[in-house]
């Protein structure tokens, strides 16, 4: 199965792993494959995103602006042209 | 009944307004897809946070935690502080707000107008930093009353007893509820109520995506998930960037005449996405979304001007 090339936006706090690149490309037909590919290209990054095989509590990942936790989590599927954004969890809204 | 004994008695019962022009047209033969805006700017100080503030203060008075003349402490990016400041002024409490320094000047002016004291937290780290500093101050001043909207069940209760039932009464055919994700109180309270009434109602969170400075945490452990948040109440969650939010808030103004704050643009963007999906699937939908506040407090950003753009709010907390 051919794997889609995906653009991944990296938050400031994780850029030390990507040589300060704001956006990187990686392959994967699911989020879990994408994270494996990211970790292969940027060693240590995977461990910052996952803990015991689950997304870390303070990490949010979005596929085309939608939170993956409501799209099947790590098994969420990806297709060519999708964009993935990684963000730390912050307080916000109209507080 | 439009006569009230005092300002705070007039809280809630805000209008639910149809958006006939912004609602997308259904395909031939398909049922209509309709958007409905709950105008929370029609509350006493002009935001949905009046509900949260009143419920938290009433609960603290009832429990005996809040005594006459006491000092209230709260982390806020503006609206909750403004609501608390008004009620505190009327009831004779002092208010200390911890607010990120990168919020619009109007919010500072309004807080000071009602006599609140402001402690600024650094822009880097955004609201997370305001919450952290407020927790530290609360520990140093055990005599102050820390209402803490991110973890106070009275915040959720305000929407379970107010916002949710009001929407259901006005729109029993509701299929989707869309609101902003901050303390998560609105989504948890109104969402839970609506799903109890009809388990098929979809509860959709729209989270403002800020500029980089707000995510400039020192480490990932400084991340923050409000204690009130319960993932099971929500069905989908979107992160909406400044550009989409600004585009939608101007569209709401220009097409339907509704002058809303910028975070409402993020909520409308998610609501329109849901509406388009319903049209494509040829299913009917009644989508209610929250207008958190009006645009007055954000005029200084210039985003409502014809040549205004989203860059104007880069680095600023706009929700």
Residue of A nearest to B293 (CA): A94
Question: Chain B, 228-287: which have a CB under 8 Å from a chain A CB?
Answer: 231, 234-241, 261, 263-264
What is this model's ipTM?
0.93
| pLDDT at residue B213 in the model | 78
What's the rounded Cα separation, in Å, for the pair B247 and B241?
Answer: 10
DSSP strand pairing (B94-100 vs B71-75): parallel
Number of residues that this document lists for chain A: 95
Sign of CA dihedral B106, B111, B117, B121: negative
Is A40 contained in some domain?
A: yes
**R_g (Cα) of chain B, nearest Å:** 19
Q: Which of B77, B38, B47, B184 is nearest to A89 (CA)?
A: B184
Q: Which of B26, B27, B21, B116 is nearest to B78 (CA)?
A: B116
Range of the domain at A80: 5-88
Contacts of A93 in chain B (CB under 8 A): 180-184, 186, 207-208, 263, 292, 319
Q: Which of B185, B189, B181, B182 is nearest to B161 (CA)?
A: B189
Number of residues that this document lists for chain B: 319
Cα dihedral B241/B243/B249/B253 (nearest 10): -170
The per-residue pLDDT of chain A, averaged, comes to 93
| pLDDT at residue B203 in the model | 98
| pLDDT at residue B319 in the model | 75
For an interface test with B, give the residue of A12, A57, A66, A93 to mutate (most B CBs within 10 A): A93
**Partners of A27 in the β-ladder:** A5
What's the rounded Cα separation, in Å, for the pair A30 and B225?
Answer: 25
| pLDDT at residue B123 in the model | 87
Neighbouring CB atoms inside 10 A of A13's CB total: 20
Distance from CA of A36 to the nearest CA of B (A): 20
Question: A25: alpha, beta or left, given left = phi > 0 and alpha = psi -120 to 50?
Answer: beta
Q: Tell whether B43 is within 8 A of chain A (Cβ).
A: no
For B31-50, how does the pLDDT look when each residue is reduced to its tens digit (9 = 90+)?
A: 999 999 999 999 999 999 99
Is A75 contained in some domain?
A: yes
Is A63 contained in some domain?
A: yes
Out of B47, B83, B127, B263, pick the active-site residue: B263
> How many structural domains does chain A have?
1
Question: Chain B, 99-158: which have a CB under 8 Å from a chain A CB?
Answer: 126-128, 130-131, 149-150
- By CB atoms closer than 10 A (0-12, 13-18, 19+), residue B303 is buried
- CATH classification for the domain delimited by B8-43+162-305, as one of 3.40.50.1980, 3.40.50.150, 3.40.50.300, 3.40.50.1100: 3.40.50.1100
CATH classification code of B49-146: 3.40.50.1100
| pLDDT at residue B314 in the model | 79
What's the rounded Cα separation, in Å, for the pair A88 and A82?
Answer: 20
Residues of A with CB under 8 A from a CB of B: 11-13, 48, 56-60, 62, 65-67, 69-70, 85, 87-95
| pLDDT at residue B313 in the model | 82
The helix/strand/coil state of B75 is: strand
Is A93 contained in some domain?
A: no
pTM: 0.96
Q: Which of B214, B250, B273, B210 is nearest to A64 (CA)?
A: B273
For an interface test with A, give the residue of B47, B76, B121, B224 to mutate (most A CBs within 10 A): B224
| pLDDT at residue B118 in the model | 97
* CA–CA–CA angle B40, A60, A86 (5° rounding): 115
Is A70 contained in some domain?
A: yes
DSSP strand pairing (A59-63 vs A66-67): antiparallel
| pLDDT at residue B212 in the model | 80
For B124-150, how does the pLDDT look when each residue is reduced to its tens digit (9 = 90+)?
A: 888 899 999 999 999 999 999 999 999
The reply to whether B297 belongs to the active site is no
Is A58 contained in some domain?
A: yes
Here the CATH number for the domain that contains residue A78 is 3.10.20.30
B225 and A58 within 8 Å at the Cβ level: the answer is yes
Neighbouring CB atoms inside 10 A of B301's CB total: 20
Residue of A nearest to B233 (CA): A70
Cα–chain-centroid distance for residue A36?
Answer: 10
Fold agreement between B8-43+162-305 and B49-146: yes
Task: Print pLDDT tens along chain B (319 aa).
Answer: 799 999 999 999 999 999 999 999 999 999 999 999 999 999 999 999 999 999 999 999 999 999 999 999 999 989 999 999 999 999 999 999 999 998 889 999 999 999 999 999 998 888 899 999 999 999 999 999 999 999 999 999 999 999 999 999 999 999 999 999 999 999 999 999 999 999 999 999 999 998 887 777 777 777 899 999 999 999 999 999 999 999 999 999 999 999 999 999 999 999 999 999 999 999 999 999 999 999 999 999 999 987 777 888 877 887 7
| pLDDT at residue B202 in the model | 98
Contacts of A59 in chain B (CB under 8 A): 220, 223
Is A95 contained in some domain?
A: no
| pLDDT at residue B291 in the model | 98
The reply to whether B263 belongs to the active site is yes
DSSP element (H, E) containing A41? helix A31-41
- The helix, strand and coil proportions of chain A, stated in percent and rounded to the nearest 5, come to 30, 30, 40
What's the rounded Cα separation, in Å, for the pair B200 and B188?
Answer: 16
Residue among A62, A69, A88 minimizing CB distance to B231: A69
Q: Tell whether B76 is within 8 A of chain A (Cβ).
A: yes
Question: A28: alpha, beta or left, given left = phi > 0 and alpha = psi -120 to 50?
Answer: left
Sign of CA dihedral B56, B58, B59, B65: positive
Helices assigned H by DSSP within chain B = 49-63, 79-91, 105-113, 126-140, 153-158, 164-170, 185-197, 242-256, 262-280
Residues of chain A with pLDDT under 50: none
Is A52 contained in some domain?
A: yes
Q: How many CB pairs under 8 A join A and B?
A: 126
Answer whether B40's CB lies under 8 Å from B79's CB.
no
The DSSP result for B27-55, as a single string, is: PTTSPPEEEEEEEGGGSTTSBTHHHHHHH
Out of B38, B49, B192, B297, pick the active-site residue: B49
Q: Where along chain B do its domains lie? A: 8-43+162-305, 49-146
- The crossing angle, in degrees rounded to 10, of helices B242-256 and B262-280 is 80
**R_g (Cα) of chain A, nearest Å:** 13
């Amino acid at each position: 199965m051919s794997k889609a090339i995906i653009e991944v936006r990296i938050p400031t706090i994780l850029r030390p792993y990507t040589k300060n690149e704001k956006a990187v490309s990686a392959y994967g037909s699911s989020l879990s494959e994408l994270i494996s590919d990211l970790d292969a290209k940027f060693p240590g990054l995977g461990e910052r995103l996952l803990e015991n095989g689950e997304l870390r509590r303070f990490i949010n990942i979005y596929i085309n602006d939608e939170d993956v936790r409501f799209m099947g989590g790590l098994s969420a599927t990806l297709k060519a042209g999708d964009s993935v954004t990684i963000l730390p969890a912050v307080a916000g809204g109209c507080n | 009944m439009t006569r009230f004994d005092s300002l705070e008695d007039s809280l809630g019962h805000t209008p639910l307004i149809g958006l006939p022009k912004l609602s997308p047209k259904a395909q031939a033969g398909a049922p209509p897809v309709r958007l409905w805006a709950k105008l929370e700017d029609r509350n006493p100080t002009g935001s949905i946070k009046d509900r949260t503030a009143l419920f938290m203060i009433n609960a603290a008075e009832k429990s005996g935690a809040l005594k006459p003349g006491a000092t209230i402490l709260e982390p806020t990016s503006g609206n909750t502080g403004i609501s608390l400041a008004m009620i505190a002024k009327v009831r004779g409490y002092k208010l200390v707000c911890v607010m990120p320094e990168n919020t619009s000047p109007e919010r500072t002016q309004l807080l000071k107008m009602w006599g609140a004291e402001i402690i600024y937290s650094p822009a880097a780290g955004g609201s997370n930093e305001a919450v952290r500093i407020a927790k530290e101050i609360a520990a140093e001043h055990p005599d102050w009353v820390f209402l803490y909207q991110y973890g106070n069940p009275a915040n959720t209760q305000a929407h379970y007893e107010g916002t949710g039932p009001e929407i259901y009464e006005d729109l029993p055919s509701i299929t989707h509820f869309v609101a902003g994700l901050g303390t998560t109180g609105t989504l948890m309270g109104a969402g839970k109520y609506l799903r109890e009434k009809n388990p098929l109602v979809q509860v959709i969170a729209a989270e403002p995506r800020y500029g980089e400075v707000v995510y400039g945490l020192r480490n990932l452990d400084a991340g923050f998930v409000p204690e009130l948040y319960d993932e099971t109440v929500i069905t989908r969650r979107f992160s909406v960037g400044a550009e989409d939010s600004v585009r939608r808030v101007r569209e709401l103004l220009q097409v339907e005449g509704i002058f809303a704050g910028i975070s409402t643009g993020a909520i409308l963007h998610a609501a329109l996405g849901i509406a388009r999906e319903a049209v494509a699937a040829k299913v009917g939908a009644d989508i209610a979304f929250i207008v958190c506040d009006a645009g007055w407090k954000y005029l200084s950003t210039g985003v409502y001007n014809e040549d205004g753009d989203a860059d104007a709010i880069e680095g600023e907390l706009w929700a």
